[in-house]
A and B are shown apart, each in its own frame.
Chain A
């Protein structure tokens, strides 16, 4: 199982599409930096099919005033949770 890390918003960059083509059936996706915009109800449809495997970084949500506004399909983790996700994955792949 791989952890994919995406730091771009699906509203401003199409790199998420490359990530989606590479994400395996067990893989997880963590949204960080501007990527956390993808956790909003208006944008989360871009990550359809990743229910239960889609995460967003709490600190980056908070710094953008978006904490508490995530779609229920997204699991919010703090930086310790980020570390835990990397522990549980075999490897990580960053998309930017």
Chain B
């Protein structure tokens, strides 16, 4: 089946990110296709390039990156939710006159239309709330 995940919870504040990543891994292991993970509301903090959790804790950002690297899962971040929380890729940083950037590939800043598209295209859309 084709699955998509909507993640609304901030990493390390709520369990949502851990739950979503664990579910994503289980989906793929069962042979399903994960067509995308959409990060929205405080979930956009999962895309923070500079996240540096203690080494003995799960690294959620790296976990999502690994999922992309190994399975090609698109990591889509709501651009409106991201910008107002200081999460900008290189292009948006330049556009807003900011030094440095806080989001990098494989995370991509995108619009809500992508979430609608995932919802229409996939057999299941599973939400992990805060």
Contact = CB atoms under 8 A, between A and B. Distances in A.
B22 A79 contact: yes
A33 B19 contact: yes
Interface in A79-96: 79-80, 82-83, 86-87, 91-92, 94-96
A9 interface: no
A95 B129 CA distance: 7
A59 B22 contact: yes
Contacts of A87: 1, 124
9 tightest CB-CB pairs across the interface, nearest first?
Answer: A96-B129, A94-B127, A79-B26, A33-B15, A94-B129, A83-B26, A92-B126, A83-B30, A86-B124
Interface of B: 1, 3, 8, 15-16, 19, 22-23, 25-27, 29-30, 32, 124-130
